[in-house]
Structure 1
Amino acid sequence: MSGAVYRFGQYALDADSRRLSHGGHPVDVDSRALDLLCHLIECRDRVVSEEELLDRMGQGRETSQAAFADWLRTARLVIGDNDGRQQLIRTVPPHGYRFVARTTEVLDTPPAAPGCPPATEADHEVIRFCRSADGTRIAYALTGEGPPLVKTANWLTHLDLDRTTPMWAHWFDGLTRGRQLIRYDERGCGLSEWALRSFTLDDLVADLDSVADAAGLDRFPLLGVSQGAAVAVAYAARHPERVSRLVLTSAYARGQLARAAGEDEQDAAEVDLSVARAGWRSQDSSFLRYFASQFLADATPAEWDAFAAYQRQTTSPANGLRFLEEFTRIDVSGIAHRVTCPTLIVHARDDARVPVAQALELASLIPDSRLILLESRNHLFTADDPAWPTFLTHLDAFLAEG
């Protein structure tokens, strides 16, 4: 139906202009995936066969199964669905699909309700997609307005969910004040492609480079959080001409297994990894709470459960295990000395996940760096953590110097 706008949840799809939005903000998506999504929504009263979709997508040309699978997965991911979840686009055996979300069809997008507050800088967000060097699809978002700040991907994110989850929402309010935040989902999670071709440090650095290119950035400040800090260090070391300033928080140069100095530390690292593996495989709350408590030491059990539930939405168990194992072995200690830009390192003095010794190591390795230790036990600063506003103050002041 020409001019129809289909609304489901926080999404709206304009069938005439082929535009998808979430919460009023445009979502950039591959045109073929959008065509597939639109056809499924228009035919939501029935199961649509794979043959019909292939014919629709091919428009008279032969379409490969691989291309179709990629478009279907993209269509699912951009609306917060995935192959396992299937709460919106359901696979109906043997070879059919149906759009099952409650949908409202309207003729036009209604104006904003009277009395709505004006949009904030963080409300200006566009989600887009680019391809990394090996062809992996990477989702990235531009949030806010002003000078750019690029944040590397870290464990674990979902561009469409992060702004409303308590763990990350305050980060966007703080990081988008007077600037534009560029962030992206790591390969294998969130809205990025889940089928991992490869997952090495080189791949993660290439993903960041592709996002910077796609966003049209030449030289920019870079923020790395947790494992994302190691990627930021590697990128700054390899691309000194592009990184103007580097901010590292909750950072480490070497993963837990990479830095294990003796049998005791090796055993502790293996036990920690085994507990995390057990949690991801069994989804047992006791294991998952233990894992969450390392990231949010001062949170309540209910908040740990919410953290665990959020993680399950961001990636598959198989990918989650792959991330865990790779991150314990990551090591940028051999190249950190090649970082030439001014660097700010902020760390919680009693970080329960990454010991403060790792921050000290980074500060000793990066030539033009300064270290600030904050009174906190949280690996990821929470909204009510007294260290959070202090971190923002130091971040703002450091970036203003540039």
Structure 2
Amino acid sequence: MGDAIYHFEQYELDTNRRRLSHDGQQIHIEPQVVDLLCHLVEHRDRVVPKDELLDTVWHGRTVSDAALATGLRTARLAIGDSGTRQRFIRTVHRRGYQFVARTTVASSAPPAVPAVSAAADADHEVIRFCRSADGTRIAYATTGEGPPLVKTANWLTHLDLDRTTPMWAHWFDGLTRNRQLIRYDERGCGLSEWTVPSFALDDLVDDLDSVVNAAGLDRFPLLGVSQGGAVAVAYAARHPERVSRLILTAAYARGRQIRAADDAERDAADVDLNIARAGWRSQDSSFLRFFAAQFLADATPAEWDAFAAYQRQTTSPSNGLRFLEEFVRIDVSGIAHQVACPTLIIHARDDARVPVAQALELATLIPDSRLVLLESRNHLFTAADPAWPTFLSHLYNFLAE
């Protein structure tokens, strides 16, 4: 492999230093993915057969086609591409793959490191990868500077897209005020591995543990949003020595099927799940809009449609179904009393996705907890929601105590 520095759009690929950068900031990806990207860029004048990539990147080892597909998907995501867009890496049916972006070659001498202002450095984000207990690849990101704040993963995230997605962008601006935010994509979605054997609660807790270990954290405050709240509760209960403070918002202790108290509630839970199954299988736009409205009750139809489009990018329809089926059965009510740290529970009074009764249950179960109810109908607070700045104020006052 020759030594050169390749430039395409805002990206720089240094084959000598095995480094991919975007606007001067390094993008951390697995070595095999770097090898794959380097080989495609170096041989961009032709279509590279699948067998050649397998032989070059995996050095003749026997691996499945799924390993190559995963490597290609990760490479594409690292450079802002996808199997649908194919702006950089094009799939040539029955022949292989070709790097098609306009590329220039620079000197192989190490480039000068540009000066970065303190403000820019504070906004610096790095995406890395680690392995969970069962070997699943988990993508995590660190953003900003200061004491850590860990946010558990929740469904419908994508590290590479969230900071420019209206649904999430304001969260990261708000959560990185004089803090370093550590977040990650749940197994099965975003930049984390999509083909996984299990989505059980224990797996999700293991994913969180692998991220905080990889990030080198000892003791830290933990934020859980939506079903990520159950993961946060389980982790805090099992690792009291590591969680200093716990913040839960839009969270619940028991999924809808578990908390159903009678036949009518069980029937309603089953109907809701069956509608979701049909919607995710068909990717019907009317269902996806209905689903978006449960998360963002006060958003506009255009914002619901944007959220529906975002859903399609975060995970596969089959994984969407697996998430839904797992989350309706989640239950941390039996271990919530083991949470030993101070806990702040914030919930919208008229949450359209998770009823406020779930916040009351969490506050009852967790010994050292306090409950704040905000006037909102949104499951996820939007930037325009009057409750959003109030949420941030409560969160930062709680962390400063």
* TM-aligned CA distance change 1:81 to 1:195, over 3 Å: farther
Q: Deviations over 1:218-246 (max 9, x none)?
A: 11100000010000000001111110000
RMSD over equivalenced CA pairs, Å: 2.3
Partner of 1:173: 173
- Alpha-carbon distance in structure 2 between the residues aligned to 1:320 and 1:6: 36
Partner of 1:19: 19
Query: Is 1:51 aligned to 2:51, yes or no?
Result: yes
Partner of 2:356: 356
Query: Is 1:244 aligned to 2:236, yes or no?
Result: no
- Alpha-carbon distance in structure 1 between the residues aligned to 2:267 and 2:355: 17
Partner of 2:202: 202
Moved more, 43-52 or 181-190: 43-52
- Alpha-carbon distance in structure 2 between the residues aligned to 1:183 and 1:54: 32
1:74-89 alignment, distance < 5 Å? 74-81=74-81, 88-89=88-89
- Alpha-carbon distance in structure 1 between the residues aligned to 2:194 and 2:237: 28
Partner of 2:293: 293
8 A Cα contact 2:47 2:95, kept in partner: no
Partner of 2:4: 3
8 A Cα contact 1:121 1:176, kept in partner: no
Q: Deviations over 1:50-74 (max 9, x none)?
A: 2222232245x54533654543343
1:212-231 alignment, distance < 5 Å? 212-231=212-231
Partner of 1:263: 263
**Structure 2 counterpart SS, 1:21:** strand
- Alpha-carbon distance in structure 1 between the residues aligned to 2:119 and 2:4: 26
Partner of 1:384: 384
How far off is 1:23 after superposition? 4.8
**Matched letter for residue 245 of structure 1:** R
Moved more, 375-384 or 42-51: 42-51
- Alpha-carbon distance in structure 2 between the residues aligned to 1:119 and 1:24: 15
Partner of 2:313: 313
- Alpha-carbon distance in structure 1 between the residues aligned to 2:384 and 2:173: 14
**Structure 1 counterpart SS, 2:71:** helix
**Structure 1 counterpart SS, 2:257:** coil
How far off is 1:105 after superposition? 2.0
Q: Deviations over 1:99-150 (max 9, x none)?
A: 34x333252779989xx99744662111000000000000000100000000
**Matched letter for residue 379 of structure 2:** H
How far off is 1:26 after superposition? 1.9
For normalisation by structure 2, the TM-score amounts to 0.92
- Alpha-carbon distance in structure 1 between the residues aligned to 2:24 and 2:266: 50
* TM-aligned CA distance change 1:359 to 1:24, over 3 Å: farther
* TM-aligned CA distance change 1:16 to 1:171, over 3 Å: same
* TM-aligned CA distance change 1:24 to 1:229, over 3 Å: farther
8 A Cα contact 2:27 2:127, kept in partner: yes
**Matched letter for residue 306 of structure 1:** A
Q: Deviations over 1:231-264 (max 9, x none)?
A: 0000001111110000000010011111111122
- Alpha-carbon distance in structure 1 between the residues aligned to 2:121 and 2:271: 44
* TM-aligned CA distance change 1:24 to 1:274, over 3 Å: farther
Q: Deviations over 1:328-356 (max 9, x none)?
A: 11111111000000000000011111000
8 A Cα contact 1:343 1:369, kept in partner: yes
Calculate percent identity across the aligned residue pairs: 75
8 A Cα contact 1:122 1:173, kept in partner: no
* TM-aligned CA distance change 1:29 to 1:348, over 3 Å: same
Moved more, 335-344 or 284-293: 284-293
The runs of at least 4 aligned residues of structure 1 exceeding 6 Å deviation read 108-113
- Alpha-carbon distance in structure 2 between the residues aligned to 1:331 and 1:173: 31
Structure 1: runs of 5 or more not aligned: none
How far off is 1:275 after superposition? 2.4
How far off is 1:360 after superposition? 0.2
For normalisation by structure 1, the TM-score amounts to 0.92
Structure 2: runs of 5 or more not aligned: none
8 A Cα contact 1:121 1:177, kept in partner: no
- Alpha-carbon distance in structure 1 between the residues aligned to 2:104 and 2:19: 15
